[in-house]
Structure 1
Amino acid sequence: MTLLLQSGDIFTNGFFMIAMLAVLVFTMIIPQRRRSKQQKTFMASLAKGQRVVTASGILGIIDKVEDNIITLNVGNKTYLQITKNAISKELTDAIYPPKAEA
């Protein structure tokens, strides 16, 4: 009788461990993958004249795109060369919201 009760506890604990793992996957891993995919798509679509914000908070307008290097105009004839992955989609969308498509 005691053996059946203990084996039931093992199955119950195993179920809760699997449930916690499922919650972890759906609340952390899947959204992170989605953000990563959006960031990669955003980096691929960068073009001259686009206003962007870097991960460190520098605002500027893209002047030139060469492979993974972007020349950013940050003021009166002041240019910075940065890598594409230094531009943040989240910060850019927060400062310069995307225009709603009608």
Structure 2
Amino acid sequence: MEGISGFLPIIAMFAVVYFFMIAPQMKRAKKEKVFAAELKRGDRVITKSGLHGKVAELNDKDNSCVIETMSGKLKFDRSAISMEMSSALNKPTVALKK
């Protein structure tokens, strides 16, 4: 029994690290992968570097997309598109009544 009680704090520490750090990161990565796979032409997006535009083309071979901006078209990897900022951009705004 004394051997197990010596390892119990270490096991508890690994469990806490897993449930508070590793599991949420894996869940977030899965959501980002689904978001990138569900992109379609015409979606308004924001890249992680802050570029605003609209998806003009999608290429499944190299997992890229062409984003049309006010100054032209640029090619990006789908992983360069920010899920949080793009979702906030496309979320309908509620008009405030006076």
TM range (shorter): 0.7 to 0.9
Residue 35 of structure 1: which of 25, 28, 32 is its match?
28
Aligned to 1:91: 85
Identity %: 35
The yes-or-no answer on 1:24 pairing with 2:43 is no
Larger radius of gyration: 1
Q: Which has the higher helix share?
A: 1
Unaligned 5+ segments in structure 1 are 1-6
Q: Deviations over 1:43-63 (max 9, x none)?
A: 110000001111111111101
Q: What secondary structure sits across from 1:82 in the alignment?
A: strand
Aligned twin of 1:82:
76
Partner deviation per Cα, 1:13-48 (whole Å, 9 max, x = no partner): 411111111000000111011011101100110000
C-alpha displacement of 1:66: 1.4
1:60 lines up with 2:53 in the alignment: yes
Tell me, in whole angstroms, the C-alpha distance in 2 between the residues paired with 1:28 and 1:69.
Answer: 30
Instruction: Say which SS state the counterpart of residue 62 (structure 1) adopts.
Output: strand
* TM-score with structure 1 setting the length: 0.78
State the 1:96 CA deviation. 3.1
Question: TM-score if structure 2 supplies the norm length?
Answer: 0.81
Q: What RMSD, in angstroms, separates the aligned Cα atoms of the two structures?
A: 2.0
Match of 1:72, SS?
strand
Tell me the matched-pair count: 91
